[in-house]
Structure 1
Amino acid sequence: MKRYDSGRKSSHEERRNPKMLNKVIIPVAGLGTRVLPASKAIPKEMLPVVDKPVIQYVVEEAVAAGFTQIILVTRSGKASIEDHFDRNAELDEVLATKGKDELLHAVRNTLPAGAQLISVRQDQALGLGHAVLCAAELIRDEEDFAVMLPDMLIDSDSQFSDLKQMVAHYHEHQCGQIMVESVPEDQVERYGIVDCGGMPPAVGTSSKLHNLVEKPGRSEAPSNLAIVGRYILPGKIMQLLRTTQAGAGGEIQLTDAIKSLVASGDLLHAFTMSGELYDCGNKSGLLQANLALGLKHSETSADMKQFIETILNNGTLLSK
């Protein structure tokens, strides 16, 4: 187990209060087969979107929503992720000597202030549920926690981000939350779909979760609300994961444990996001994220707009 601190330690109150929602598990042990060959030697989480790797956006999202303990579930070959959030004394010295203060600040703050990063190993790729279970020793009894998938990048208002709003709903309703978004009905078979009993939550709100269905056919889908890789879960799910049998693909599925929670009467809500979601675990999603965020970045927006205008004016590029 490895730990990296950005500086400020958690307060005594944070350490002693088991109901403080401050831990998030981010599984980064996947092989990244959907973006091969780019991920052959580089972890998919380290692929860049404009000037930062995808994982940094996810960590920044978590810290901005109030999470101070970032738990990475990793494996061999992923050391560059931990290195990215650690200090690089040689690089710091070079940038300081050259007076590149803005860049120096950027590389020194890859792990936001007030956050602690902890890594644990997943020795076998046995599914998302198993990855979450690998962090069980860091989750105390009855301590609620979040799970964030590292290849799902959400671009939303930083002040009122979807994750911040979901955390607020967790505190208001005192129950777990699963983030969802509407998808076209002809695409429901690609996702885990939630059943809210015919009462789907409006954007930015949550409602009671009745069931989850993994990749249903269009006629069997209870809604078009797909799970998007952001969860706030009760600590007791760790015990359920210990006894959850391998499901689809011979893996321990997190959705199976969540279904067991719901079936046992535990209250969970589905929260409908409002931001833009980019699945950076596949080639198209990664390219879309670079385009969308490149158009917003102060250093690249003008060139990106000019390039797009050139493409639109030269229709031959789009017709190839």
Structure 2
Amino acid sequence: MSASKQWKPIRKAVLPVAGLGTRFLPATKVMPKEMLPLVDRPLVQHAIEEARDAGIDEFVFITGRFKEMLEEHFDYQPELAALLESRGKPDMAEKVKASEIPAGQLFLTRQPKPLGLGHAIWCAKKLIGDDPFAILLPDDVVLNPGGPGCLAQMIETYNQTGGNLVAVMDVPREKTASYGILDIKSDDGRRVDIKGLVEKPKPENAPSTLSIIGRYILQPELFTYLDKFEKGVGGEIQLTDAMANLIGQQPFHGLRYDGQRYDCGSRVGFIEANIAFAMHDPEIGDTVKSIIKKHAQNL
């Protein structure tokens, strides 16, 4: 199937948010890890804003137990906005309004058991229907100051190639067992033509060191393979395994995006992301840099 086919535009995004966030206990004992603040906004809001900036207007949350706070955060909050207005804080009221997702654009479905990322995405099958869709993992954040977000870059490339697309970055070979790794057909330095995908290979077996991060654009035919509930690495239903079946049937590419990716699924990555994003915040950036310099002198 060639890229000349008229591929549908990307308007839907799936956000898997059913995880327990055990690495952040006790902070995540009650609060979903996706609600942890990255500077002044929850992780999940950063993902939503990135998707909106890329043209997404329908959002599907794959939730689990005790995740009601996620839904509430994006709901209409007229009392809070009115209170802020009455106290002469219109800028804060606008921030509250900007976090809302309008009626008819937010959909929620449950993943009752943690059976893997592939299973989480399968739970969105009926909400996706016959449309292509994006996936954003809120744990992965990409900072590209002054430039387009990661998903916007991907959609620009998708509009040229069609098919399926994943965001990729190089990792040390000793860390390939933590990622989905590409088997590369061709590489022009930015866009990669993929001939295979391997989930979490041992370093000696990895076909490359180019790994997938938490941004995907996929066609609905993916669900044909997720429907089989085949288990892979770790006894889980792996998204990478299902994606690999689309290779050869549809265009499948990787994109080296502009920007720095931070893994907010780990405590160190989350702290680093907060430092990086805070330094680029127009309101507090200079102050944060001064604080970092002060503490660096005491090391």
- The TM-score, its normalising length taken from structure 2, stands at 0.92
Return 5+ residue gaps in structure 2 as ranges. 1-5
Residues 298 and 112 (structure 1), Cα distance of their counterparts in 2 relative to 1, 3 Å cut: farther
Give the Cα separation in 2 of the matches to 1:190 and 1:238. Answer: 24
- Aligned residue number for residue 23 of structure 1: 12
- Aligned residue number for residue 189 of structure 1: 177
Share of identical aligned residues, percent? 38
Give the Cα separation in 1 of the matches to 2:122 and 2:15. Answer: 12
Give the Cα separation in 2 of the matches to 1:153 and 1:114. Answer: 26
- The answer to whether the 8 Å contact 1:244/1:257 transfers is no
Deviations 1:188-237 (A, max 9, x none): 2221111113x3342xx322111111222222221111110111111111
- Report the AA paired with residue 152 of structure 1: D
Matched, 1:108 2:97: yes
- Aligned residue number for residue 12 of structure 1: none
Deviations 1:272-299 (A, max 9, x none): 1221111111101110011001111123
- Report the AA paired with residue 166 of structure 2: I
Which stretch has the larger CA shift, 107-116 or 44-53? 107-116
- Aligned residue number for residue 3 of structure 2: none
Runs of 4+ in structure 1 displaced over 4 angstroms? Answer: 112-115
Q: How does 1:1-320 map to 2 (within 5 A)?
A: 19-111=8-100, 116-141=105-130, 143-157=131-145, 159-197=147-185, 199-202=186-189, 205-262=190-247, 265-315=249-299
- The answer to whether the 8 Å contact 2:7/2:162 transfers is no
Residues 206 and 114 (structure 1), Cα distance of their counterparts in 2 relative to 1, 3 Å cut: farther
Residues 305 and 18 (structure 1), Cα distance of their counterparts in 2 relative to 1, 3 Å cut: closer
- Report the AA paired with residue 43 of structure 2: V
Return 5+ residue gaps in structure 1 as ranges. 1-16, 316-320
Aligned residues: 294
Instruction: Kindly report the root-mean-square deviation, in angstroms, between the aligned alpha carbons of the 2 structures.
Output: 2.0
Deviations 1:48-75 (A, max 9, x none): 0111000000000011011110111112
Deviations 1:79-118 (A, max 9, x none): 1111111122221121011010000000111136798221
- The TM-score, its normalising length taken from structure 1, stands at 0.87
